[in-house]
Amino acid sequence: MEILQNIYQHKLVAIIRGVPTEHILNVADALHQGGIRTLEITMDTPNVLGAIEQVRKEFDGELIVGAGTVLDAETARAAIMAGSQFIFSPTVDVNTIKLTKRYGVVSIPGAMTPTEIVTAYETGGDLIKIFPATRLGPTYIKDIKGPLPHIPLMPTGGVNLDNISEYFQVGAVAAGLGSSLVKKQQNYSKEDLQALKQRAEQFVAKVR
């Protein structure tokens, strides 16, 4: 699957949460300039479906765009109809995974325990988001990869410049980057966007 291979290749998914709709295109552009190739826009964003459509249109073929914090199948379908190329969930919701796969879209459910991870994978999850990784750390990924080496894992939550290399060393195939990359701000000035671009470049350099 081309979308999944792109995520594996570029390794980093930037999570856009809490960014006002009118600034999302500028934020996406700064991330793209910094080398990020995959964006997740969370479903609690105002006018999120319109934002997904806008980013898909503006960066067609240059950025992979998906929806995050998808809690149910109805929300997943709406996001897919708006152009989402993958569906991120914080939990293992079987109906959401099945609907996502029915439409041929990449499914990335969130799990923590070994049972949740296996359930998510066997239900059809293409890549399993280990969430919240901040509570578990890189050694947890290493421990899980022991008995479950065939399941691709993506730590999300608490991944930063100091620990990201270690996550990949122990077997993560990708990483979700939240507030360590895209920070909530009062405004999005040229200086803010330049700083965002530079943070993106730092993360990209870490995983090359």
Q: What is the pLDDT of residues 8-29, one digit of tens each?
A: 999 999 999 999 999 999 999 9
Residue 53 falls in the annotated catalytic set: no
* Phi-psi domain of 14 (left: phi exceeds 0; alpha: psi -120 through 50; beta: other): beta
- Percentage of the chain surpassing pLDDT 90? 95
| pLDDT value, residue 135 | 87
CATH hierarchy code of domain 1-206: 3.20.20.70
In angstroms, rounded to a whole number, what is the distance separating the alpha carbons of residues 191 and 67? 27
Q: What pLDDT, in 10s, does the model give residues 60-117?
A: 999 999 999 999 999 999 999 999 999 999 999 999 999 999 999 999 999 999 999 9
Residue ranges covered by each domain of the chain: 1-206
What is the b/e burial string over 72-86, where b = at least 16 CB atoms within 10 angstroms of the residue's CB? ebebbbbbbebbbbb
62's CB contacts (< 8 A; 6+ apart) are 32, 37
Residue 129 falls in the annotated catalytic set: yes
Q: Which is catalytic among the residues 2, 11, 57, 129? A: 129
Token representation of residue 106: 């990449």
In angstroms, rounded to a whole number, what is the distance separating the alpha carbons of residues 29 and 178? 17
What is the three-class DSSP state of 36?
Answer: coil
Q: Which is catalytic among the residues 40, 58, 62, 98? A: 40
pTM comes to: 0.96
185 — pLDDT class (breaks 50, 70, 90) = confident
In angstroms, rounded to a whole number, what is the distance separating the alpha carbons of residues 21 and 33? 19
Dihedral pair phi/psi, residue 156, rounded to 5°: -145, 135
